[in-house]
């Protein structure tokens, strides 16, 4: 099992001035740095790849979806902007040799409303249309798009693995799979291990976050059950900590982060990795 940590743990938005994190993450013992792309233009991508290669870190790419990146929006400009953003991130993932680009690609984080069945159908159709286009680009660049269900407080569109499976089956591309985040699963699923088994070979990435989004191993998740389920489906991907140590105002609002989740970002990352390594050592 390869272990990673998101740049979100320390900084938002990640930029070229944040590159000291690469060395810190490597020194902690991680295999992967997961780079959250809030603004692609503030990151020197060739330099990032060069430093990561020099220290021996792999890179995975994740997305940040605000209202203007919503491929299911009733605003056509936002739908276009969202598709273009996904395509940009797929290309970046290819350049960084990331096997995946993951996130709630279907909508905007923090978009929570009760809408009519007719409106839901329109939004789903726009979503499927754009995910189909994105999947074609993903195929061209050899990158898997990981569609991530979020909890009900962060989206009204895809909360459960069943909803995610329905969506990827409608798009019907081997380049569109599912990213599970155990924090969201803990809110929405009856059993995280059974959810992992249900997703099975469609699971392309796992963000292994604690029940309170704090340090893995300090909450109430069934980590032994999660480990067994990953073994049962012969999962070959990574497990990554993604939580928020210094969220921007927009991110804090979207993800409802109002208090520190650990004593420090460094403590969360180092103790979380120690827990991962102990859990998966046997």
Per the structure block, which two tokens stand in for 19?
């590159």
Q: What is the pLDDT of residue 47?
A: 98
Per the structure, how many domains does the chain have?
Answer: 1
Q: Is 5 helix (H, G, I), strand (E, B) or coil?
A: strand
Model pLDDT, residue 110: 94
Band of residue 171 on the pLDDT scale cut at 50, 70, 90: very high
Beta bridge pairs of residue 243? none
How confident is the model over 106-115, as pLDDT tens digits? 999 999 999 9
What pLDDT, in 10s, does the model give residues 47-104?
A: 999 999 999 999 999 999 999 999 999 999 999 999 999 999 999 999 999 999 999 9
Query: How high is the pLDDT of residue 236?
Result: 95
Read off the tokens for 207. 């963000």
Count of alpha carbons within 13 angstroms of residue 62, beta-carbon side:
30
Average pLDDT over residues 137-148: 98
pLDDT digits (tens, 9 = 90+) for 148-161: 999 999 999 999 99
Q: How many Å apart are CA 100 and CA 84, to the nearest integer?
A: 17
Per-residue pLDDT tens for 215-264? 999 999 999 999 999 999 999 999 999 998 777 777 777 777 788 888 89
The torsion of the CA quartet 156, 216, 162, 149, rounded to 10 degrees, works out to 30
**pLDDT (0 to 100) of residue 248:** 72
The pLDDT assigned to 98 comes to: 98
pLDDT of residue 261: 82
Measure the CA–CA gap between 229 and 82, rounded to whole angstroms.
Answer: 33
Rounded Cα gap, residues 263 and 136, in angstroms:
43
Q: What is the CATH number of the domain that holds 45?
A: 3.20.20.150
Q: Is the dihedral of CA 215, 272, 198, 108 positive or negative?
A: positive
Instruction: Compute the mean pLDDT over every residue in the chain, rounded to the nearest whole number.
Output: 96
Structural Rg of the chain based on CA atoms? 17
Separation CA 110–CA 90 (nearest Å)? 23
Percent of the chain topping pLDDT 70: 100
The reported pLDDT for the residue numbered 256 is: 77
Q: What percent of the chain has pLDDT over 90?
A: 93
Which of 81, 58, 61 minimizes the C-alpha distance to 69? 81
Residues carrying an active site annotation: 148, 242
Structural domain boundaries enclosing 44: 2-279
| Concatenated DSSP letters of 165-217 | HHHHHHHT-TTEEEEEEHHHHHHH-S-HHHHHHHHGGGEEEEE---TTSSSTT
pLDDT at 187 over 80: yes
pLDDT band at 145 (very low <50, low <70, confident <90, very high): very high
How many residues can be counted in the chain? 282
């Amino acid at each position: 099992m390869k272990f990673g940590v998101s740049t979100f743990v320390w900084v938002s938005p990640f930029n070229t001035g944040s590159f000291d994190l690469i060395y810190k993450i490597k020194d902690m013992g991680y295999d992967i740095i997961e780079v959250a792309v809030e603004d692609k233009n503030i990151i020197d991508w060739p330099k990032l790849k060069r430093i990561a290669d020099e220290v021996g870190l792999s890179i995975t790419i994740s997305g940040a979806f605000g209202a203007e990146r919503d491929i299911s929006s009733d605003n056509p400009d936002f739908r276009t902007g969202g598709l273009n953003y996904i395509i940009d991130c797929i290309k970046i993932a290819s350049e960084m040799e990331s096997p995946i680009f993951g996130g709630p690609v279907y909508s905007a984080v923090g978009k929570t409303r009760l809408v009519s069945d007719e409106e839901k159908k329109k939004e789903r159709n726009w979503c499927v249309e754009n995910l189909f286009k994105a999947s074609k680009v993903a195929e061209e660049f050899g990158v898997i798009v990981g569609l991530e269900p979020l909890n009900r407080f962060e989206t009204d569109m895809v909360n459960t693995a069943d909803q995610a499976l329905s969506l990827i089956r409608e798009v019907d591309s081997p380049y569109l799979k599912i990213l599970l985040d155990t924090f969201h699963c803990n809110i929405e699923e009856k059993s995280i291990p059974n959810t992992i088994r249900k997703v099975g070979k469609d699971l392309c990435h796992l963000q292994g976050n604690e029940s309170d989004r704090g340090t893995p191993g300090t909450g109430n998740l069934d980590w032994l059950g999660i480990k067994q389920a990953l073994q049962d489906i012969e999962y070959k991907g990574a497990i990554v900590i993604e939580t928020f140590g210094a969220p921007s105002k927009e991110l804090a609002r979207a993800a409802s982060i109002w208090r520190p989740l650990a004593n420090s970002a460094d403590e969360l990352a180092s103790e979380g990795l120690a827990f991962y390594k102990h859990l998966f050592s046997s």
